Amino acid sequence: MTQAVGGHNGPCIVQPDSNSTVLNPWSWNKVSNMLYIDQPVQTGFSYDDLPVDGIMDMLTGDITVGGGPGPSNFYLAEGEVCEPGPGQDGHHHGGRGQVTTDTPPRGGHFVPEIAKIIQTTRFPDWPKSRVKVDSVGIINGIIDTLIQTPSYPDFAVNNTYGIQTIPVVVAETAKANMTTCTYLTTVCRDLQKPYDPLNTGLNATINAACLDAFGYYITYVAGPYDALSGRNPFDIGHTTPDPFPPPNALGYLNNA
């Protein structure tokens, strides 16, 4: 929801008092109807039951999670897209009868699946309920670990900014760790394809294998940059904690 009120593409920009707002002159809702979704369930304003508050330390980035696990990360409920009236084509949600799904950083893992759910969901009592996905937008997304991860150590020491963020020997070690990272990731995928083809995430054995792969990647390949660089993981030109954009929206949303 920070995208909606933090000066990104939403209708308003929260001011330094974290209480007042001004209109955002660059808002996407000037040309489109916008719906912001926090995911997975039990994060932000997405919950199936009243959650326990979670806390994020703005200096360390440590997160204390509140609430418990919810249902599917994303689903469509009947009635969210309105029943068409007389003379309408069954898409009473916009002029073109289409939607675009867009995601902030790391959304390459989930926004294609969200688009698939929107595109394929049907309701028995509403045969014309199909919503067409026009496009999928991914900003700074993680899409494929095996393709993208090897570039992390390289970019940490060899980038267009001329910034060496970690020692070269650390970067070389992180690159060497890709052998184990590739093996663990392949094990995860080889288990998922036959035993969880729909990616339900309900198989404990697969979850454990994939968690091992992700944990190794984040600790031994991508982790040195986060631990040693003092730089923003999304923009190497910024330090961390990053003063931009200002955290005004966080105080505003905490009062919601």
For 19-31, write each residue's pLDDT tens digit.
999 999 989 888 8
pLDDT tens for residues 66-75?
Answer: 555 444 555 5
What pLDDT is stored for residue 84 in this prediction?
42
Burial state string for 65-94 with b = 16 or more CB within 10 A and e = fewer than 16: eebeebeebbebeeeebeebeeeeebbebe
Structure tokens at 166: 């970690």
Q: Which residue has the tokens 């039990």?
A: 42
In this prediction, residue 17 has a pLDDT band, given cuts at 50, 70 and 90, of very high
Calculate what percentage of the chain has a pLDDT beyond 90.
36
Whole-number pLDDT of residue 142: 78
For 64, the enclosing helix (H) or strand (E) is: strand 63-64
- At 221, which amino acid appears? V
Handedness of CA 210, 226, 40, 92 (dihedral sign): negative
In the predicted model, is pLDDT for residue 107 greater than 80? no
User: CA 136, 105, 27, 92 torsion: positive or negative?
Assistant: positive
Pairing outcome for strands 98-103 and 132-138: parallel
For 87-109, what is the mean pLDDT?
63
Rounded average pLDDT over 231-235:
88
What's the length of the chain?
256
CA angle, 66 then 70 then 138, to 5°: 90
- Tell me, what's the pLDDT at 172? 97
Q: How far apart are CA 7 and CA 139, in angstroms?
A: 16
Q: What is the pLDDT of residues 173-231, one digit of tens each?
A: 999 999 999 999 999 999 999 999 887 788 999 999 999 999 999 999 999 999 999 99
- Out of 2-6, 145-149, 205-209, pick the least confident: 2-6
In this predicted structure, the answer to whether residue 119 has a pLDDT above a threshold of 60 is yes
Cα distance between residue 7 and residue 235, in whole Å: 17
Instruction: Write out the H or E segment, with its range, that includes residue 194.
Output: helix 178-195
Q: Tokens 């923003």 — which residue?
A: 232
